Amino acid sequence: MAFLNRKTNTQAEATTDFRQTAQTNLMMLADLGIPEAVRFRDVLGFDDNPLAALEHIPLANRIPLCIATISEILYQRTNDLIIEEHNPAVLDLACGYSPRVLVMAPRGYTYVGADLPGVAQELAEKRSQLIPNDPTLFAGYRCVDVSDRTQMEGIVAALRERITVVTQGLLTYLTLEQKDDLMTSVQSLLSRDGGCWIIPDACPDRLLPATFEAIMGKGGARVAQAVYGVLDREVGRSREQNGWRNIDEMTDALEDFGFNVKRVPLYRRELPLWCLDKLDPEAADRLIVAWQGMSSLVVTRA
């Protein structure tokens, strides 16, 4: 199963691109004070500014907080949905440096983080430091190279139980052909043992601009578009060519492929969101209202 096969870049370039994005997500969560993210950041030794490329954009001093809130709502809502679906195994595709294992392993889930070689190797090398000294937790954490067919087939064969596949932040990087490959692989997994596929970022056209507007006020959406432009250049991405630009396109493509698609709220009041405490009450209220109009997707086999 070739879950991820980027054809638009060399493997080395793709690895660099994904590592930059992965590091940004971890640093933003850690900056909010989320304990498991702080642990991962400290063990991995990240201390530089992953958003340096955005420093020339107007209101740049507010951009880290905006991105941190997006990173957290996707992270926390994904965790929430995994627990709600309660499938014994979790396959986190393009996991980056996510500290999700520290939430899932203590609850008895087998957590597999899969990413490109640079990230996967770094996680594997520091696995014993990332995971507390607990044999149960250690046994529940595996890191694999998502581009290595042998590794992926081996890990998938070992997961003989209902599975939750997670793709947080992945789909906007993939071409339509690569999305077809991904859907084929996920459908095969769900057909074998059951489970679901969680896509938390199902409103890619709305999440960034609406969040920036809520936090920055008037003009925030324009800043978000500038951020989009910089990030697209950094990772060599064309969101128009990649398709699935909104939740309707995403839902139609998944249903046409033979999946059942359920829309669930992106925001739940019960979520433990650290980012809201960083905002003034009016901005926090605006942000909640913006998020309440968005959805995540829980996808199952038809």
* pLDDT in the model for residue 8: 39
3-state secondary structure of 96: coil
Q: How confident is the model at residue 9 (pLDDT cuts 50, 70, 90)?
A: very low
Q: Is residue 129 part of a domain?
A: yes
pLDDT at position 141 over 50:
yes
| Angle formed by the axes of helices 35-44 and 11-32, nearest 10° | 130
* Alpha helical stretches, state H, the chain: 11-32, 35-44, 63-85, 101-104, 117-125, 127-130, 135-139, 149-158, 176-193, 207-216, 220-235, 239-242, 247-256, 281-292
pLDDT at position 15 over 60:
no
Rounded CA separation 267/214 (Å): 15
CA-CA-CA-CA dihedral for 104, 270, 295, 166, to nearest 10: 0
* pLDDT in the model for residue 2: 54
237 versus 217: the higher-pLDDT residue is 217
For the chain, the average pLDDT equals 86
The predicted-structure confidence for 153-210, as pLDDT tens digits, reads as follows 888 888 888 999 999 988 888 888 999 999 999 999 999 889 999 999 999 999 999 9
Q: What is the mean pLDDT of residues 254-282?
A: 96
The predicted-structure confidence for 22-65, as pLDDT tens digits, reads as follows 888 999 999 999 999 999 999 999 877 766 666 666 656 778 89
3-state secondary structure of 77: helix
pLDDT at position 110 over 50:
yes
Q: Which range has highest mean pLDDT (7-21, 101-115, 237-251)?
A: 101-115
CATH number at residue 105: 3.40.50.150
Q: Is residue 41 part of a domain?
A: yes
Residue 153 CB neighbours (<10 A): 12
Q: What are phi and psi of 137, to 5 degrees?
A: -65, -45
Q: In what order do the strands lie in the sheet containing 89-93?
A: 141-145, 110-115, 89-93, 163-166, 195-199, 295-301, 259-265
Q: Is residue 117 part of a domain?
A: yes
* pLDDT in the model for residue 150: 86
* pLDDT in the model for residue 52: 65
Rounded CA separation 228/230 (Å): 6
* pLDDT in the model for residue 10: 37
Q: How confident is the model at residue 4 (pLDDT cuts 50, 70, 90)?
A: low
* pLDDT in the model for residue 12: 40
Full residue range of the structural domain in which residue 266 is found: 11-301
Q: Is residue 6 part of a domain?
A: no
Q: How confident is the model at residue 266 (pLDDT cuts 50, 70, 90)?
A: very high
* pLDDT in the model for residue 240: 67
∠ Cα 194 196 200 (to 5°): 170
pTM of the model: 0.90
Distant-in-sequence, close-in-space partners of 139: CB < 8 Å, separation ≥ 6: none
Weakest mean pLDDT among 46-60, 116-130, 280-294? 46-60
Q: Is residue 4 part of a domain?
A: no
Q: Is residue 3 part of a domain?
A: no
17 versus 28: the higher-pLDDT residue is 28
Weakest mean pLDDT among 60-64, 123-127, 145-149? 60-64
* pLDDT in the model for residue 140: 66
Q: Is residue 281 part of a domain?
A: yes
Q: What are phi and psi of 296, to 5 degrees?
A: -110, 170
Q: Is residue 251 part of a domain?
A: yes
Report the relative pairing of strands 110-115 and 141-145 from DSSP bridges.
parallel
Domain tally, the chain: 1
Q: Which range has highest mean pLDDT (112-121, 139-148, 275-284)?
A: 275-284
